[in-house]
């Protein structure tokens, strides 16, 4: 078997770990494989959404789940394909505990010709004690495929 799939996934891992989003959060990708993707964001004052309680802003959790879910899709692909988030539902179960790192874990459940379906969870130590749950759908942008819609005609 060729090493090409592994090489492109390692490159994708490296690029996604260096995105301005993840770098701004001081986060890190922990794992990307066909089984799952995992990322971690340490607690920091730059993430606080409520200064009175020190609770992390919900957007940090949403963005982390979106980012990790996209990487879960990449982990299931055999070759690089651009993707875009079509739908992302976040159910917040409880606030993140001030002072604790947040871990996101996502699994790609199914990939069709054009759509990938993912479920994820954000937590501190135990995925069964969730901060938030997510369900997501990603569009696969297949280069060289026929357009999804007909281009506008110019008469």
Closest CA to 83 of 138, 145, 18: 138
How is 44-72 classified by DSSP, letter by letter? Answer: -GGGEEETTTTEEPHHHHHHHHHHHHHHH
The structural domains of the chain, with segments of one domain joined by +, span 4-140
Report residue 154's pLDDT band, with 50, 70 and 90 as the boundaries: very low
pTM for the structure as a whole: 0.85
The CA distance from 118 to 106, in Å, is 7
Report residue 16's pLDDT band, with 50, 70 and 90 as the boundaries: confident
The CATH code of the domain at 4-140 is 3.10.129.10
Which pLDDT does position 2 carry in this prediction?
A: 41
Tens digits of residue pLDDT in 112-134 = 989 999 999 999 999 999 999 99
């Amino acid at each position: 078997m060729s090493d090409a799939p592994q090489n492109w996934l390692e490159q994708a891992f490296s690029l996604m770990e260096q995105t301005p989003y993840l770098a701004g959060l001081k986060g890190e990708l922990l794992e990307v494989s066909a089984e799952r993707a995992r990322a971690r964001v340490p607690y920091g004052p730059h993430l606080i959404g409520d200064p009175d309680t020190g609770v992390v802003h919900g957007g940090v959790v949403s963005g982390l789940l979106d980012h990790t879910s996209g990487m879960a899709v990449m982990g299931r692909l055999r070759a690089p394909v651009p993707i875009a988030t079509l739908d992302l539902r976040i159910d917040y179960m409880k606030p993140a505990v001030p002072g604790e790192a947040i871990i996101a874990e996502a699994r790609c459940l199914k990939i069709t010709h054009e759509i990938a379906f993912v479920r994820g969870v954000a937590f501190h130590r135990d995925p069964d004690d969730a901060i938030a749950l997510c369900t997501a759908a990603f569009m696969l942008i297949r280069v060289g495929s026929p357009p999804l819609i007909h281009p506008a005609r110019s008469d």
